[in-house]
Structure 1
Amino acid sequence: MPDLDVGLIGSGTAARTRLAAWLALGARVRVYSPDGRHHRLAAEHAPYHVTAAVSLRRLLSHSALVDVCTPAHSRHAFVLAAARTGCDTVCELPSAADPTEARQAADAAEAAGVHLFPAGFERWGATHASLRRALADGTAEFGPTAVLEFGRTAARPDRSHRSAAGAGGDGRVLAELSVHDFDLARSLAGEVVRVFAQLQAEVQGPPVAATVVLTHASGTVSLVRGRWVLPGTTVGTTARLSGPRGEVWQHASAPVGPADARRPSPWADDDPTVAGLRAFTTAVRTGRPAPVTARDGVMAARIVAAARLSAFSGRAVELSAED
């Protein structure tokens, strides 16, 4: 996609991962970050013609598509700015820290006539594909006796010990790690109607692990476990489905280390991030329905908020149908 101009907002791990995927797709990328670290990011990737924008306004004015890879509490403002400029936008999950802001972002994109794509890339992953095959051939099925389990470990973010204003602080493991499995569970087992969550913390530290039980309208229960571990640890995921006869399906990913965005060529066409971004850009260019919609970003924000409320209240939280 050498004719695609992408404006990437952010400079952290998510931004670096997404930058590698955009470069693998052949896009021209400009970067911007409020903390100023985008200048270093651009310099590191100068051989791939990545440039640093001097301001958010300049980035938006030179971009056909914007990718927001900032902490959850700041995404809302960037998505609104992109919509006002007429830019189609990819946004990290959840699309805002607060469900009301996520809905405002979705409404703003719709009013501006642009796409808002939540980055639900796990839907292009091996776990999703494997379970879909098992459902199609009758090996697995959902229902009141089905239990879907997800496990995910990842290196703790550099500044996870700080409470981000407006981001819920101690619930960050829910909004930045477990949210990917919330979206995956909902895409597979259907709408979520009840959430119960518990957080586990280090001694005198913030929560670094979460256990969340999602009850779906179908009766299926999803058990989601997420844990942040020491920096430098590779990402690993597991998933399994159990029924009345015991375990009927399971999948475990090979450990994956941090992506080296300075060498985009090893990225395979079927990598979930590459495949998802390709699907989003195809939807923009053809007008066909997008595989993930702004509503999915709103629902991710609602589930995260319900999990945070449950964790701090000790009670299950009911999720009503979205208006």
Structure 2
Amino acid sequence: MGDKDALRVGIVGAGGIAPPHIDGWLALGAEVSILRRTGAQELADLHGIRVIDDLDQLIDQSTIIDIISPTTTHLDIARRAFAAGRDVVCEKPLAVTTADAVALAQAASDAGMRLFPAHVVRYFEGYRLLKEQIATIGTLLELTFRRTVPAPDAAWFFAEDAGGGLIRDLMIHDLDQALWLAGPVAEISATQDPPSTDGQVMPPVSAHATLTHANGAISHVRADWFGPETVFRSQAQVVGADGSLEFDTAGSGGRREGYLPPASDIDPYQAQLADFVDALRTGHDARVTPEDGIAAVRLVDAAYESLRTGRPVLL
């Protein structure tokens, strides 16, 4: 990992996803710094971390760069980190387009550094158990996913041309789950209600995608951005020839705000970051790989193409 076991993390981004990342790193014993931008000082005061004014200085003083800034900024920041010999954790989606996601992963490979796409739902305990138990239900037939959250606050999330959009920001979690549980996708068809207007999403809004997997299984994926009073809910059901499995945060006890599932014994953000650190120290793959991150962006691109044309898209 460099510098023996030193863990110095530089965070780029100070939005709503920052607190669970900061808490996760601190729980792992990391020395955490954050790049100065709106909201960074408040986070630093709350969590007892440093604010650094300049990106190059942040990179220089860190062993890992954690990119949680708007999606359009990911590729440039990651390239600068890789060029300086730093490993990178990058929030989903890796990039706005498949081409940029591939370029980001290639930059890591060219520099001999590690890239960890942060698809945190793979670390929700309920989804991990689905993955472990899926072989017990026989040939996969149908998978159903739904994710309902309060619409985000920052305006860029609603601008599809600026790296936002309901499918790109929220549905991607369950597109990744469909890939993780049922494998490659051969065809995708997507709808959104209400449709975007001039590339702008207007909550309350829902999107639905139907995926035909290469193995014949069908996945139905729904994502909702609703009002600020909305309770976070994440649901999955997997039906096989010999049985079914399901997970629903509504049955997990308690309410959690924003980006976190209801309370459990395992914090998924900390579990995710711990997996990345273990992968760095052992050289093994993490639960989510750069190829996984690219595959999820590829599905997002195909879903938006389906919205644009009103037709299924072959992959």
Q: Distance in 2 between matches of 1:84 and 1:269?
A: 38
CA drift at 1:175: 1.2
1:1-323 pair list within 5 angstroms: 3-32=6-35, 35-46=37-48, 50-136=49-135, 138=136, 140-143=137-140, 146-160=141-155, 163-164=158-159, 166-167=161-162, 169=164, 172-201=165-194, 206=202, 208-243=205-240, 248-253=244-249, 254=252, 256-258=255-257, 270-319=266-315
Counterpart amino acid of 1:36?
Answer: T
RMSD, matched Cα: 2.6
Identity score, percent: 34
CA drift at 1:127: 2.9
Contact 2:275 2:287 in 1 (8 A): yes
Contact 1:130 1:251 in 2 (8 A): no
CA drift at 1:151: 0.8
Structure-2 change in CA distance of 1:256 and 1:6 (3 Å): farther
Q: Match of 2:17, SS?
A: helix
Contact 1:9 1:69 in 2 (8 A): yes
Q: Distance in 1 between matches of 2:92 and 2:212?
A: 20
Moved over 3 A (4+): 160-169, 202-205
Q: Distance in 2 between matches of 1:32 and 1:165?
A: 25
Counterpart amino acid of 2:87?
Answer: D
Deviations 1:218-270 (A, max 9, x none): 1111111110122253321111123468x722211136423799xxxxx9773
Q: Match of 1:315, SS?
A: coil
Q: Distance in 1 between matches of 2:259 and 2:235?
A: 23
Q: Distance in 2 between matches of 1:150 and 1:56?
A: 38
Structure-2 change in CA distance of 1:182 and 1:157 (3 Å): same
Q: Match of 1:197, SS?
A: strand
- How many residue pairs were aligned? 303
Contact 1:179 1:300 in 2 (8 A): yes
CA drift at 1:216: 1.1
Counterpart amino acid of 1:227?
Answer: D
Q: Match of 1:95, SS?
A: coil
Q: Compare 127-136 and 187-196 and name the one that shifted more.
A: 127-136
- Structure 2 unmatched runs, 5+: none
Q: Tell me what 1:264 maps to.
A: none
Relative to the length of structure 1, the TM-score reads 0.85
Counterpart amino acid of 2:149?
Answer: A
Structure-2 change in CA distance of 1:160 and 1:316 (3 Å): farther
Structure-2 change in CA distance of 1:274 and 1:317 (3 Å): same
Q: Distance in 2 between matches of 1:56 and 1:40?
A: 18
